Amino acid sequence: MSQANVDWIDDVTELIFESSFMTLATADGDGLPWVTPVEFVCDEELRFYWNSVIDARHSENVRANARAALSIYDSSYVPLDGQPTALYAEGPVEEFRRPDLAELLPSFERWIAWRDKGRTTRRSDRGSPIDSDSPWRFYRLTPTTVYALNPGEHPNHGWPASWRVPVDLAGSYSRAYRSRLA
């Protein structure tokens, strides 16, 4: 892999660590789509987590159709000034009660600290009650396919354009995650 490709994959990996929100796309049992921004965390295995109330439309959709897609986009990108960075993924979604993920909560807090490092505003802690009667649930999307915007020349059009290509972020992401643990 050329250095330019490594830098590009590293940029996509860094986008995950720097982002607070992802856009989540779900569909109900009839296939009616819905998109919503959700605050997320990501574990070392590149699985994406968020929490929402059980009666949110996207939560209801996940129970009716346990597949979803997500996108994370560099919102600081200025059109026509360089190349945008974006990540897309799709896969199955699982629903958990907070106690089911208790062993992951320290890594979630670590993730939030990494992401928020250097920010001047303090994140408010909405928290979610630990009891099993809580209307809040955690959700996890495990990507089966990951895509990113390729900043290179488009294979069909022959000119520089950002276009979506499948990528394997496992190595780059895992290295970046472990380096933050040090």
- Rounded to two decimals, what is the model's pTM? 0.86
Please report, as a single letter, which amino acid is at residue 159: W
Banded pLDDT at 4 (limits 50, 70, 90): very low
What pLDDT digit, counting tens, does each position of 124-149 carry?
554 444 456 788 999 999 999 999 98
Secondary structure E strands in the chain: 21-27, 33-39, 41-42, 48-53, 67-73, 86-96, 136-141, 145-150, 163-166
- Beta-sheet pairing, 33-39 with 145-150: unpaired
Tokens coding 61: 């959709």
Tokens coding 122: 């303090």
Is 15 in contact with 87 (CB distance < 8 Å)? yes
Give the homologous superfamily in CATH for domain 3-181.
Electron Transport, Fmn-binding Protein; Chain A (2.30.110.10)
For the chain, what is the mean pLDDT? 85
Domain edges within the chain: 3-181
pLDDT of 176 above 60:
yes
Q: What is the pLDDT of residue 108?
A: 86
In the chain, count of helices (H) and strands (E)? 4, 9
More confident residue, 38 or 124: 38
Token pair 């915007």 is at which residue?
149
DSSP-derived secondary structure letter, 153? B
C-alpha to C-alpha distance for 35 and 3, rounded to whole angstroms? 35
